Every structure is written in structure tokens, then in C-alpha cells.
Amino acid sequence: MRPLLTIDSSEWDGGSGSRKPVEDRDLLTHRDASPTQVTVGRFGELNVFACPVDPDHPHRWSTQWLPKPPGAPADVSR
């Protein structure tokens, strides 16, 4: 299986800001790290995998849950 798609709840690392783009360095880390406002589960990540040998094989997926950082948007999925 090979990675096909990753959907992440944040644009950069909300803790250290280590992946924050230079042009966004003055933005607030937690509020502005999610410009699309897409949240996977409880502020995690969704990975979708595809078989490189046979496209008829079903896709596989996995989720990675992270603790909700301070200032993260409230869970509105209820």
C-alpha cells in the first residue's frame, strides 16, 4: 500500500510552530494553524492508502488522533 491522500487538522505544528511558513510567522499558532477549518476526528489526521499493483484492491485508511491543543476550535460534530 502506498500513501494516496493525507488530510490533517492543522496546517503546521501547533505546539512548536516548527512547520509554520515564514510568511505566517506573525499569525497566532493555534487559531491560524487551521485556515480550512477542516477537523479530522478529534483534531487528528486521516491517511488513505492505495494498492500500486491493482487499482481494484480496496483503499485502506488510518487515523491518527492527537490531543486537542489549547485554543483549538470546539468539536461541532455532535
Count CB neighbours of 33 within 10 A.
Answer: 23
Check: pTM over 0.85? Answer yes or no: no
Half-sphere exposure of 50 (CA within 13 A, CB side): 8
Angle of CA points 55, 4, 8, to nearest 5°: 150
Rounded CA gap, 34 and 7, in Å? 12
pLDDT tens for the chain, 78 residues long, are 999 999 888 877 666 666 777 888 787 766 677 777 888 887 888 999 999 999 999 999 999 876 666 666 665 444
The sign of the dihedral angle between the CA atoms of 15, 39, 35, 46 is: positive
